[in-house]
Amino acid sequence: KQEVTQIPAALSVPEGENLVLNCSFTDSAIYNLQWFRQDPGKGLTSLLLIQSSQREQTSGRLNASLDKSSGRSTLYIAASQPGDSATYLCAVSSNDYKLSFGAGTTVTVRA
């Protein structure tokens, strides 16, 4: 069974600092890894999708890396802003339909 772990569980940084969020998974036989953002009481917004054959994906200030052999992904958010405050979830697709989610990292960016 795929187990996904996110460290740290919570993070508080001053505005302008770079954010580093970690995700690890136990089974390297994956289709892809997806990073999501969730604001309180809202749905999940897809940030980045990395296919198993890829090493990284970038979108604006966001960059996600994937090391499938070691079961790790890292999400970098450059020059954080208060609007980046949210919970960030990583999820791994290991079969045709199911996503295995980590518990999330709750980020607070202080103005």
Partner 1 sequence: DTEVTQTPKHLVMGMTNKKSLKCEQHMGHRAMYWYKQKAKKPPELMFVYSYEKLSINESVPSRFSPECPNSSLLNLHLHALQPEDSALYLCASIRVAGGDEQFFGPGTRLTVL
Residues near partner 1 (CB under 8 A) are 31-32, 34, 36, 41-46, 49, 51-52, 89, 91, 93, 95-99, 101-104
Residue 82 backbone phi and psi in degrees, to 5: -55, -30
Nearer to partner 1, 81 or 95 (CB): 95
Q: How far is the CB of 44 from partner 1 (least distance, A)?
A: 4
Nearer to partner 1, 16 or 42 (CB): 42
Q: How far is the CB of 51 from partner 1 (least distance, A)?
A: 6
| 8 Å CB contact between 92 and 35 | no
Nearer to partner 1, 8 or 16 (CB): 8
Dihedral in degrees, nearest 10, Cα atoms 9, 83, 90, 45: 140
Closest by Cα among 37, 50, 43, 47 to 89: 37
